[in-house]
Amino acid sequence: MQPILTSNIIDYTGSIKVTKTLEELAQSNLSELKVHTGSVFNPEDPASKILGVFKDTERNEAVAASGDRYGIVTMRDLLGVDQPANTKIESIWKQVGSVSPNISVLEAVDILIRNNITAIPVVSREEITLLSQQDITTELSDVPDLKQIKAKEIMMSPVLTIEKETPIAHARRMMLDKGFSHIPVTNGEKLVGIITGEDIVTTFITVQNKTTTGDRSGEKTGKFPGQVGGFMNKQPLTVLPDASVLEVVKQINKMDEKYCLVADEEKLHGIITHRELLAVIHSVKPEEVLPVYIVGIDGEDFFESAVVEDKIRRTVMRSMKIREDITEVSVKVKSQRNKGERTRYTITARAIGPTVSYNVENQGWGLMETFDGLVEALDKSLRRAKKEPQKGARRGRRRPNPHLKP
């Protein structure tokens, strides 16, 4: 019996090809995917070893491991290397931990997005492999659901562009500073090509490179000579804004590209990379509802309980846009009736997480008014709390993450 919502189609070779819904792909096990099984590098190895593999295999990520330390090196990391033969991998790798092959695709996507990384080592008893975002998005070609989503709905826009007269050294510096690997090239407002980090690395960075100056305005450019127009891809992969995301995925797979520009005859509208495609898978993740527990009042006597819970939840969730460390809120209500038959309320709230605790209290005569004052006090407490700035995965040491295995 076939699984519900799954259909089989005949491809052009005549074989049976199983298609999935987006939800089914998200819940698939990582062990069902084809992942990269290439070399595992030692952090003590020179970066030139990875550079050689990148040029031979057209991969953009590699895994390095030493003991219980796991990390990745990407093409963008090599973009900032002057002498790969004299640069150890440990000076440029990102220690990101590892995951089990038994987690779901959705869990893996969530880890990649949350940690802003493009790949993650997959460790089992038998081997160490590398799961890249490209390995995941390749599977989207078997998801007919994507016919209903248009390219313009998921593209990143506006897009950073450069003129074709821009020096290569300046394009490289823009990629390093902005964190992009693909920059469309324009002549005025007309799209004329695209330059990628892979283009620059494979063309200009070699094992024999010598230290030269050349990526700052006013310096001589020895190592990265020429202008973008001389090295760009003059026929970039493009689709119209109304093209389906399924068409985008199939074109990216067919052309073996890592991007797709969204443009028409008039202008460039946006760009789609593997990261935008990952976001499509991530969209099926159920929205998490923050637990709010209220004790000390009878639900029959306080019909606004749901309203209060919602106010507290919205206050905490608003703060969680910049902090993700609160897992539940508990509220305790105490009441005391005086001689005049009036009731005075003391309400305390505690917002807690694995490493944090925020406690507030408010007192008043009216139950709803006292709750409103409590919510206001909680909001002020969360706003006052300072949180360290978010950082990318550290180079040279492991970044702790509860989702990753050590």
Domains and CATH numbers, the chain: 8-145 (3.10.580.10), 146-282 (3.10.580.10), 292-384 (3.30.160.100)
381-390 mean pLDDT = 65
Q: Which of 106-110, 300-304, 322-326 has the highest mean pLDDT?
A: 106-110
pLDDT at 34: 82
Task: Give the C-alpha separation, 262 to 152, whole Å.
Answer: 7
pLDDT at 374: 92
Residue of 314 and 61 predicted with greater confidence: 61
Give the helix ranges, DSSP H, for 168-327: 168-178, 197-204, 245-255, 274-282, 305-319
pLDDT at 207: 58
Least confident piece of the model among 222-226, 239-243, 377-381: 222-226
SS (H, E, C) 82-104: CCHHHCEHHHCCEECCEECCCCE
pLDDT at 322: 52
pLDDT at 14: 37
283-290 mean pLDDT = 85
pLDDT at 208: 55
Q: What are phi and psi of 334, to 5 degrees?
A: -120, 140
Structure tokens at 240: 């119209």
Least confident piece of the model among 117-121, 141-145, 241-245, 286-290: 286-290
193-220 mean pLDDT = 67
Residue 216 has pLDDT above 60, yes or no: no
Residue 338 has pLDDT above 90, yes or no: no
pLDDT at 150: 97
Residue 236 has pLDDT above 80, yes or no: yes
Residue count (the chain): 406
Tens-place pLDDT, residues 246-274: 999 999 999 999 999 999 988 899 999 99
